[in-house]
Structure 1
């Protein structure tokens, strides 16, 4: 359901995540991008490597709002299995400057 994501920066983020493309994923982020997981700020590089790339992370958007800058998705990876998650994005200059995720 990535068609429901109108914001090109968020769409690039989701497409890169689902493709397992580290280079495209980094290109979708600002140089100073930050993130949080379940309300706690995390080291973005460490978290994305562990929770997305090393564990074959994949998300399927279920519902989206705010042009795709907020959505609920079914997220799965080889570490945790599948879970319902919420995602919100702050976009600056056409790139993701911050994302927040957690269980929905």
Structure 2
């Protein structure tokens, strides 16, 4: 069972997932704070390089299974053309209406 993106609790996280699923680079970078950081499986990565490789070039897509922490922690099935499909966890830090950090990895 998945949660429709429009029903995600946190509006900033909802905008992030909407932009990611639409492969909308402009909208996704608009929701990120200047200097936003991220990690993948516990290792810090360059946000732009990671998004280019794991989302935009490989058509990344999230189907959210559950949310916690007011909608800032998600479990989702993530798929892209590089890795196929996997169950992932996403944790977002939101400051001033923008994502300042997100952490993802296998759930």
**TM-score bin (small chain):** over 0.9
TM-score normalised per structure 1: 0.97
TM-score normalised per structure 2: 0.94
Pairs aligned (count)? 104
- Does 1:36 pair with 2:39? yes
- Contact 1:9/1:28 (CA < 8 Å) preserved in 2? yes
- Detail structure 1 runs of 4+ shifted over 3 Å in the superposition: none
Q: Equivalent of 1:80, from 79, 83, 95?
A: 83
Which residue of 1 is the match for residue 48 of structure 2?
45
Deviations 1:54-81 (A, max 9, x none): 0000000001012210010000000000
- Structure 1 residue ranges without an equivalent (≥5): none
Q: Equivalent of 2:12, from 9, 24, 29?
A: 9
- Structure 2 residue ranges without an equivalent (≥5): none
SS at 1:17 equivalent:
helix
